[in-house]
Structure 1
Amino acid sequence: MKFARGAFALLAGGVVAVGGGGCAHAPPRVSPELSARLASEPGTWVSGSASGLGRKAVLNNKDFIWGLAFAPRGARVAYSRLGSKSYFLSVWELGSAEPTMLADPAINPYEFDVEGVAFSPDGTRVATAGKDSVVRLFDAATGVLVAERRTEEPLSVVAFHPEGQWLVVGSYKGLMTVLSAPALEYGSEERGHLGPVTALAFAPDGTLYSGGWDKHVRAWRTSVEGLRPGQARMRFERRAGSVVLGGTVNDKAPLSFALDARAPALVLTSEAAAAAGIDVPFLKETVNVPGPLGTIAARLAPAQSLRFKSMRVEGVDVAICDACVPQGTQGVLGAPFSERVDVAFDEVTQEAVLSLKGGPPEGAVTVDALVLARRSEFPFPAYVSDVTVDARGQRLGVGLSEQKPERDRGVYERERKGVEEPQGPFNAGALVDAQSGQVLAKWPVHRGVVATAAISPDGRSLASGGWDKRVYLFTEGDADARGEHRFDWSVRRVRFSPDGRWLGVAAWTPQVASRDGDSDPAAVLLDVGYESPTVQGPGTAGASVAP
């Protein structure tokens, strides 16, 4: 059922009140008494059999919405939206009677999708991860960019560790990278999946669950370890006969280097040197460097530092010469680099393995980093599109699709012609035991790709969304959906709020030409109803509260 356009009414902050159809039935909302108790006891949640979906508010009815996340603390929600020329991060405050937009900063150009959105545990920061390979950290209240870091591969998802000092990003090529927060310094990495990492979710004890198109969910133990890194694995490219690596000088701007052991010096362009904090006009020393038209007396910056992920090369002299650097790169790693670093190539993973000759030097600084260690893996007979974890870390919500969740020309053609996608036993949302990987329940009601699945905080209910334009709500012990909400295009993400009262939905909306630019609902908050709800928390057994 489609929302009636005439039933929309604009409220303060751009919120749209929802009218018309869309839900199978509208259950009573969580009572004011229960809501007050949840607010007075931070970290608690509603528990009970989910009974249906009601209507709260539409936050956006203009754009394609991609990723969506609730803040663990602070009653906030954020989503990434595609504007006319760029992606934006919209952050909303939910504590008052009506949601209020706090910030709406631009993220990156529209060519690079942004699916990864995650709040820090205290709700004060929002991280995004996009196909431009950049992780960005924003202040949730103001939208100010706090930090950003370019990684080696296009990024799909991001998640914060429960303690807030680390975050993990997953790439479309299977790499999982740990970064510090808020500085976004490199910590460690693991090649977690073959193909895209589609989900990252932390349990309260720090266990990380990841999902991917290799049809696996993997569980990772995490621990902070002191590392004296003497090795780094780097993605590399081949350009015009040269091997190109990415690194930084003086821990500043990321740069691309051509590897050339024949060059007598380590060379930077003047622009790259300035980005690295080198004041070129004040350099006094020079060094002779061969250039395209003969020998060049290049300015010399002594005792600089190079960093390749966690591996450092200290005390390196750098020549500044624009004409000596191949086009498309910003520096050359010449003989002084090759004398100190061995480089081997893994053609299978397209990675260069860099190793300090002789290992880390004596007295090298130990760096603390969060390290991932594989605990277990759960194979499925379908592509894993999403993974979420309940408030106690005991159960997972997993989205499964028999078809690869990849939007290609065939998908668009079938949608244009109104061809209905097939149902299948593993086009489903599933409740999964987090220790064993056993499927406790699954609901194969979607037609075609199931793009997302969210488990309720108490682990008893599941919401799923798909390209069939449907969001369903299920509860353990019932084979039928307890609630349904229909959209006008693909559903991208569903998430329960940390207290279980609301379900946030991110969807695409048809681009309807109208005078005010409005289209159909795309970022929506739904009320979740419960039978005989109780309030529970990490240290509670649950006390009944009248709904």
Structure 2
Amino acid sequence: MRPGRNAVALLAGGLLALGGCAHAPPKLAPDVEARLARTQGGYLTGTVAGVEVEAVLNRRDFIWGLAFAPRGGRVAYSRLGSKQYFLSIWSLGPPPVLLADPAINPYEFDVEGVAFSPDGGLVATAGKDGVVRLFDAATGALRGERRTEEPLGTVAFHPDGKWLVAGSDKGLMTVLAVPGLEYASEERGHEGPVSALAFAPDGTLYSGGWDKHVRAWRTGVEALRPGQARVRFERRGDSVVLGGVVNGRAPVMLSLDARTPAIVLTSAAATAAGIDVPFLKETLNIPGALGTTVARLARGQTLNFKSLRLEGVDIAVCDACVPQGLQGVLGTPFIERVEVAFDEVTQEAVLTLKGGPPEGARTVDALVLAPRSDFTFPAYVSDVTVDARGQRLGVALSEQKPERNREVYERERKGVEEPRGPFNAGALVDARSGQVLQKWPLHQGVVSTAAISPDGRSLASGGWDKRVYLFTEGEDAARGEREFDWSVRRVRFSPDGRQVGVAAWTPQEVSSSGDSDPAAVLLGVRYVEPSVVAPQ
């Protein structure tokens, strides 16, 4: 029997490949059960006593991100199939039932960010392809998507449900409006990957990063008159390339070229932007190295660069006028309206409307992030969660950079155990001061995830040592432990505190059913003498 099988052997009998209850949930006293049922948004509080396996939702895939719905009794996780990532959405039951399993993006782009809207009606994903996607939580239908400039690793909804924030692998936090996913604002909050985003009930945002910081951000809606934007750029030979969006529909990569007397799109990009190319009547002559090309002309279009919006833009449609691999060219009309400066430190182009926003330009409401606190740790921050009152944080800390590479895989293949360390730990942290209230350095190597209980008294942690621990404040020893067969990627408490969801990788085995070891699991939490807390 392979290492890790003993702890999950009880799951092997009678479970379906993608789900099924192993045990009934840990029983509560009838009066506690009744009060929890009638207290909307209520959660359990007390000393945890242990965990029991309730259900295995998946035993064949690599599971990456996992989240519970604040309302609606659902859980969702991202899984890697044979050629694509999928979003599996379940009702919690009992028994759990798979509601939807839509595809997200190709397998080349990991999807770690998963989050439910506050009402439980939407699920957002954030992937390494740089795209935020919104799915209907009941049907799995795609409700919207927005391409950002950088690979994404995490996403979180604001408590009012009108905004979400996506964190990138390069430290950028982008605020988008819900449900349209329009760009609102941004802050480069960390150096290197943003590893976690978590909102407190009052709207305070906590972000964690591989720069060994947890930062707190005040949030507020401001009326902005967009006249400037900072946009990532890249150099391709003698050209500078910027990313924009045409008519709010088509993300495009555009070459900046003052020699071209028009703003130009390829026919494919124009069609994606809603331009009916065959029915365009006007034309424009565009000179080039091989002579003049007659291009069709679409008047009165819009062009967005984040918060900077150009209206009344005339766009020429010409495939031969656009460099290979791009979707368009920003020619003289763009240069006449927009001043472009380059920040080589951040690799961003600063775009400013000449003369400022036009008279009478409408203001746009946007959620804006403002720094509040900065907590520095002597270890990499892998994960951050916040309790139901917004008073405590659960933080995953690792002395080794939590980056999977060939060296890590070789050590795992050879069975080399990583060392314990004082800051390979899950920690309870005061949300106002950043003080570490208690930490538990039991994991060997990287601690990839930490989930604080709704009452802020307990912590579940998971790591690349294949283990999940459950701790309660005031005690050094774990109150519960589970072992999996490969790295644990994510642990999360359910909003009522009754369950811990676990996302893990599982070795790929050759079997008639395709089954392997448990990868997405619901653990029931047992309490010594639980009571019910109503939300404030």
Name the TM-score, length of structure 1 as normaliser: 0.95
1:220 is matched with which residue? Answer: 217
1:52 to 50, 73, 82: 50
Q: Where does residue 254 of structure 2 map in the other structure? A: 257
Q: Which amino acid aligns with 1:4?
A: A
Q: Match of 1:231?
A: 228
Q: Which residue of structure 2 lines up, in the alignment, with residue 7 of structure 1?
A: 12
CA contact (8 A) 1:47 1:535 kept: yes
Query: CA shift at 1:27, angstroms?
Result: 11
Q: Is 1:186 aligned to 2:190, yes or no?
A: no
What secondary structure sits across from 2:325 in the alignment? coil
Match of 2:525 in 1: 528
The answer (yes or no) to whether the contact 1:8–1:16 under 8 Å persists in 2 is no
1:451 to 448, 451, 460: 448
- Give the Cα separation in 1 of the matches to 2:299 and 2:419: 65
Q: How does 1:146-161 map to 2 (within 5 A)?
A: 146-161=143-158
Equivalents in 2 of 1:395, 1:70: separation in Å? Answer: 19
Query: What is the RMSD computed on CA atoms of the aligned residues?
Result: 1.5
- Tell me if the contact between 1:30 and 1:501 (Cα under 8 Å) persists in the aligned partners: no
Match of 2:388 in 1: 391
Specify the code of the residue in structure 2 equivalent to 1:46.
Answer: L
Counterpart amino acid of residue 188 in structure 2: R
Shift of 1:430: 0.4
| Whole-angstrom distance in 1 between the partners of 2:107 and 2:26 | 40
CA contact (8 A) 1:66 1:492 kept: yes
Task: Give the counterpart of 1:66 among 40, 64, 82.
Answer: 64
Give 1:501 deviation, angstroms: 0.3
Partner residue in 1 for 2:280: 283
Partner of 1:131: 128
1:418 is the counterpart of 2:423 = no
Q: Within 5 Å, give how 1:292-311 maps onto structure 2.
A: 292-311=289-308
Q: Distance in 2 between matches of 1:28 and 1:78?
A: 22
Deviates further, 290-299 or 220-229 = 290-299
Task: Tell me which amino acid in the other structure corresponds to 2:198.
Answer: A
- 1:3 alignment partner, SS class: helix
Q: Note closer, same or farther for the CA distance 1:496–1:5 as it changes in structure 2 (3 Å cut).
A: closer
Note the 1:310-389 alignment, pairs <5 A.
310-389=307-386
Q: In structure 2, what is the Cα distance between the partners aligned to 1:62 and 1:30?
A: 32
| Matched residue SS, 1:454 | strand
Flag as ranges the 4+ runs of structure 1 deviating above 3 A.
Answer: 16-19, 26-33
Letter in 1 for 2:452: I
Distance 1:460 1:362, change over 3 A: same
Choose which of 453, 469, 485 in structure 1 pairs with 2:482. 485
Answer yes or no: is 1:85 the counterpart of 2:83.
Answer: yes
Q: Which amino acid counterpart does residue 153 of structure 1 have in structure 2? A: E
State the Cα deviation string for residues 22-74 of structure 1 (Å, max 9, x = none).
xxxx9954345423322221111000011111121111111110000000001
SS at match of 2:530: strand
Please give the alpha-carbon distance, in whole angstroms, between the structure 2 residues aligned to 1:442 and 1:318: 59
Equivalent pair of 2:50/2:480 in contact (CA under 8 Å): yes
Question: Which residue of the partner structure matches residue 543 of structure 1?
Answer: none
Unaligned runs of at least 5 residues, structure 1: 20-25, 540-547
Classify the secondary structure of the residue corresponding to 1:532: coil
Q: Matched residue of 1:339: which SS?
A: helix
2:3 aligned partner = none
**Residue identity matched to 1:299:** R
Shift of 1:302: 1.8
Q: Tell me the equivalent position of 2:206.
A: 209
- Quote how far apart the aligned CAs of 1:249 are: 1.6
Query: For 1:185 and 1:280, how far apart are their aligned partners in 2?
Result: 26
Contact 1:8 1:17 in 2 (8 A): no
The offset of 1:351, in angstroms, is 0.6
| Counterpart Cα distance in 2 of 1:6 and 1:207 | 40
1:415 aligns to what SS in structure 2?
A: helix
Which of 429, 432, 436 aligns to 2:429? It is 432
Identity of aligned residues (%): 76
State the alpha-carbon separation in 1 of the partners of residues 108 and 240 from structure 2: 27
Residues 75, 32 of structure 1: CA spacing in aligned structure 2 closer, same or farther, 3 A cutoff? farther
Determine the C-alpha separation between the residues in 1 that align with 2:71 and 2:141: 19
Shift of 1:271: 1.4
Residue in structure 2 matched with residue 545 of structure 1 by the alignment: none
Question: Hey, what's the Cα distance between the residues in 2 that align with 1:339 and 1:27?
Answer: 66
What is the CA–CA distance in structure 2 between the aligned matches of 1:218 and 1:112, rounded to whole Å?
A: 27
Which AA in structure 2 matches 1:527? G
- Cα distance, 1:532 vs structure 2: 1.1
Counterpart in the other structure of 2:459? 462
Kindly provide the amino acid, as one letter, of the partner of residue 462 in structure 2.
G
- Hey, what's the Cα distance between the residues in 2 that align with 1:517 and 1:204? 42
Separation (CA, whole Å) in 2 of partners of 1:30 and 1:156: 37
Cα separation, 1, equivalents of 2:78 and 2:278: 43
Where structure 2 has 5 or more consecutive residues not aligned to the other structure, the ranges are 1-5
- Quote the offset at 1:297 in angstroms: 2.0
Query: Would you say the 8 A contact 1:474–1:480 is kept in 2?
Result: yes
**Alpha-carbon distance between aligned partners in 1 of 2:172 and 2:132, rounded to the nearest angstrom:** 14
SS in structure 2 of the partner of residue 34 of structure 1? helix
- What secondary structure does 2:35 align onto? helix
Distance 2:502 2:277 in 1: 52
Report the Cα distance in structure 2 between the residues aligned to 1:280 and 1:538, rounded to whole angstroms.
55
Question: Is contact 2:163–2:178 with CA below 8 Å preserved after alignment?
Answer: yes
Change (3 A) 1:6 1:324: closer
Indicate whether 1:500 and 2:497 are aligned: yes
Q: Secondary structure at the match of 1:505?
A: strand
User: In structure 1, what residue type is equivalent to 2:83?
Assistant: K
Going from structure 1 to structure 2, the CA distance change for 1:6 and 1:232 (only over 3 Å counts) comes to: closer
The alpha-carbon deviation at position 4 of structure 1 amounts to 2.4
Q: CA deviation at 1:314?
A: 1.6
Measured after TM superposition, the shift of residue 300 of structure 1 is 1.5
The alpha carbon displacement at 1:8 in A equals 2.3
Instruction: Give the Cα–Cα distance (whole angstroms) in 2 for the partners of residues 135 and 360 of structure 1.
Output: 29
Distance in 1 between the 2:29 and 2:64 partners? 31
2: CA distance, partners of 1:499 / 1:6: 24
Q: What does the per-residue CA deviation read over 1:224-279, in whole Å, with 9 as the maximum and x for residues that have no partner?
A: 11110100000111123211111112211111100001211111111111111222
412-421 or 199-208: which moved more?
412-421
Provide the secondary structure at the position in 2 that maps to 1:55: strand
